[in-house]
C-alpha cells in the first residue's frame, strides 16, 4: 500500500496549502539567487510543507534536485560524500540543479563530527541554489547557519486549508468521510498536515467511520512520546502505522532500536513471534553496521522498515494486556559511565598526540600494553 503523503504530495507550487507568505518569499528568493548569494533556510513546524515546496518547485521548473536528510547524514564526511562534488557540476539532463538539505537541525554540531561546519563550508563553494529546512530555528547549533541564510518562515497549516486538502484526497481515494470526520482529523492534527493525511489513511479501510473512531488517535503532539511509540509498534498490526510512529519522536534511529530491543520480551509471548521480531531487529542492526562502516546512508530506510514494520508484523494478533515498557539498559549504562568514558577519551587523545596516531589506534594497539605496565 502506497503512503498517501507520498502519493498525494504536491506536484507544483500552487498545490502547497496554507503557506502563501512563505511560498511568495521562496519564489522571490529563487528569482534573485545567483552564485555568492545566500541560500534559503525554511523553518517551521513538522508537516507544514517545507520539503514538499522544494520538491514541487524542482518538478515544476524541471530542475534536478539533490536531496539528503541531515538527520540521517549527520557527519561532515557523510554530507560531503553525498553532495560535495555535485555543488560545482552542471546538471546533465535538466535545466539546472537545486540542493535540499532537510532537517538540518538534526546534523551534528559537535567539533569531532562537524556536520554543521561542513555545511557552512559547502555554501561558499556552491554554484547552485541551496535550501535548508529545520523545525527549530533557534537551536543553538544553527546560529552560524542563520547568519549565512535567507530565512523563510512557515507556520502551521490553518484549519480550513487542512480540511480542504483532506476532502480532495478522500474524493480521489473514493473514501466516504463526512465533513465532521474531516474537521475532527484536521483539528486533532494541530496544523500538521502530514499527520492529518496519515490519520485519514489509517481510517480509510473502515466502511462506516464515525467520530468516536477517531478517539484512538487523540490530540496530536508535535514531539511523540517514546512510550507511545512503543505502544504503537507493539500493539498495531499495520506495518505502515509502525513505521510512521517514529516520525516525530526526538530520538535517533539507533536509540529507538535499543528501546524496541529492550521491550520485545515485555510484549510478545509466543516463541515464534519472539524469533521473528528479533530476526527483523538483527537484520536492522546489520544495516546500521553497514551504514557506519561504509557511510552508505541510503540503507537507513531499510533499517527503519525492519525495526518498526518488521517487528510490528511479527505477532499473530494484538496482545490486549498492559505492558510496562522499560528504559533501555544500554542507555542507562552509557549514562552511568559517561564521565569515565569522557576522561578516558581525553587521555587517549593526549596519547595520540604524543604517539602521532589516532585515538582509535591508541585504544586498539597501545592501551592493552599500557594497562599491563601500570599493573606491573
* 192 in the same domain as 126: no
Report the C-alpha gap between 27 and 358 in whole angstroms: 47
Which segment of 8-12, 20-24, 72-76, 317-321 scores lowest on mean pLDDT? 72-76
Which segment of 56-60, 173-177, 306-310 scores lowest on mean pLDDT? 173-177
- pLDDT tens digits for 224-244? 578 878 888 888 888 888 888
* 13 in the same domain as 70: yes
Q: What is the pLDDT of residue 222?
A: 43
* 76 in the same domain as 201: no
- pLDDT tens digits for 349-369? 888 888 888 877 878 777 777
* 244 in the same domain as 116: no
Average pLDDT over residues 275-281: 94
- pLDDT tens digits for 86-100? 665 666 566 788 988
Confidence band for 166, pLDDT divided at 50, 70 and 90: very high
Q: What is the pLDDT of residue 75?
A: 56
> Cell 507568505 appears where?
21
Among 222, 238, 258, the domain boundary falls at: 222
Q: What is the pLDDT of residue 198?
A: 84
Cβ–Cβ under 8 Å, residues 150 and 120? no
pTM for this model (two decimals): 0.58
Cβ–Cβ under 8 Å, residues 19 and 48? yes
* 238 in the same domain as 205: no
Hey, is 217 helix, strand or coil?
coil
Angle made by CA atoms 226, 229, 233, in degrees to the nearest 5: 145
Residue ranges in the chain assigned as alpha helix (H): 4-7, 20-32, 50-61, 76-83, 115-125, 143-148, 159-172, 179-189, 193-202, 226-235, 239-244, 253-267, 271-294, 300-305, 311-312, 329-336, 338-355, 359-361, 367-375
Pull the grid cell for residue 188: 486533532
* 272 in the same domain as 237: yes
* 360 in the same domain as 263: no
Q: At 221, phi and psi to the nearest 5?
A: -105, 145
* 199 in the same domain as 99: no
* 289 in the same domain as 367: no
Share of the chain above pLDDT 70, in %: 82
Q: Which domain holds residue 163?
A: 158-222
> How remote is the C-alpha of 47 from its chain's centroid?
12
How crowded is residue 121: how many other Cβ atoms within 10 Å of its Cβ? 14
Confidence band for 223, pLDDT divided at 50, 70 and 90: very low
* 252 in the same domain as 185: no
Q: What is the CATH number of the domain that holds 57?
A: 3.40.50.300
* 149 in the same domain as 8: yes
* 123 in the same domain as 32: yes
Structural domain count of the chain? 4
Cβ–Cβ under 8 Å, residues 51 and 143? no
Report the C-alpha gap between 28 and 133 in whole angstroms: 17
Assess whether pLDDT exceeds 60 at residue 108: no
Q: At 66, phi and psi to the nearest 5?
A: -105, 115
Amino acid at each position: 500500500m502506497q503512503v498517501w503523503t507520498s502519493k498525494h504530495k504536491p506536484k507544483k507550487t500552487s498545490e502547497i496549502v496554507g503557506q502563501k507568505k512563505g511560498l511568495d518569499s521562496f519564489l522571490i528568493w529563487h528569482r534573485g539567487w545567483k552564485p555568492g548569494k545566500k541560500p534559503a533556510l525554511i523553518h517551521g513546524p513538522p508537516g507544514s510543507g517545507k520539503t514538499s515546496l522544494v520538491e514541487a518547485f524542482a518538478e515544476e521548473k524541471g530542475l534536478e534536485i539533490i536531496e539528503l536528510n541531515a538527520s540521517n547524514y549527520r557527519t561532515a564526511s557523510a554530507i560531503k560524500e553525498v553532495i560535495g562534488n555535485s555543488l560545482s557540476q552542471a546538471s546533465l539532463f535538466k535545466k539546472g540543479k537545486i540542493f535540499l538539505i532537510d532537517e538540518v537541525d538534526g546534523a551534528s554540531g559537535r567539533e569531532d563530527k562537524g556536520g554543521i561546519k561542513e555545511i557552512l563550508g559547502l555554501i561558499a563553494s556552491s554554484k547552485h541554489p541551496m535550501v535548508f529546512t529545520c523545525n527549530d530555528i533557534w537551536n543553538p547549533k544553527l546560529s552560524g547557519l542563520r547568519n549565512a541564510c535567507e530565512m523563510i518562515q512557515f507556520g502551521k497549516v490553518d484549519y480550513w486549508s487542512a480540511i480542504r486538502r483532506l476532502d480532495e484526497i478522500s474524493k480521489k481515494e473514493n473514501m466516504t468521510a463526512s465533513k465532521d470526520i474531516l474537521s475532527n482529523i484536521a483539528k486533532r492534527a494541530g496544523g500538521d498536515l502530514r499527520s492529518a493525511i496519515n490519520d485519514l489513511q489509517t481510517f480509510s479501510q473502515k466502511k462506516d467511520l464515525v467520530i468516536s473512531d477517531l478517539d484512538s488517535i487523540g490530540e496530536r503532539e508535535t514531539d511523540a512520546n517514546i512510550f507511545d511509540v512503543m505502544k504503537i509498534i507493539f500493539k498495531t498490526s499495520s506495518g505502515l502505522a509502525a513505521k510512521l510512529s517514529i516520525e516525530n519522536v526526538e530520538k535517533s534511529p539507533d536509540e529507538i532500536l535499543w528501546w524496541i530491543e529492550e521491550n520485545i520480551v515485555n510484549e510478545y509471548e509466543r516463541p515464534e513471534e519472539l524469533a521473528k521480531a528479533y530476526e527483523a531487529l538483527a537484520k536492522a542492526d546489520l544495516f546500521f553496521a553497514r551504514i557506519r562502516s561504509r557511510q552508505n546512508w541510503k540503507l537507513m530506510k531499510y533499517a527503519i522498515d525492519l525495526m518498526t514494520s518488521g517487528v510490528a508484523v511479527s505477532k499473530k494478533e494484538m496482545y490486549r494486556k498492559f505492558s510496562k515498557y522499560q528504559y533501555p539498559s544500554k542507555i542507562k549504562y552509557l549514562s552511568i559511565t559517561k564521565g569515565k568514558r569522557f576522561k578516558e577519551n581525553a587521555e587517549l587523545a593526549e596519547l595520540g598526540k604524543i604517539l602521532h596516531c589516532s585515538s582509535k589506534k591508541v585504544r586498539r594497539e597501545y592501551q592493552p600494553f599500557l594497562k599491563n605496565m601500570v599493573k606491573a
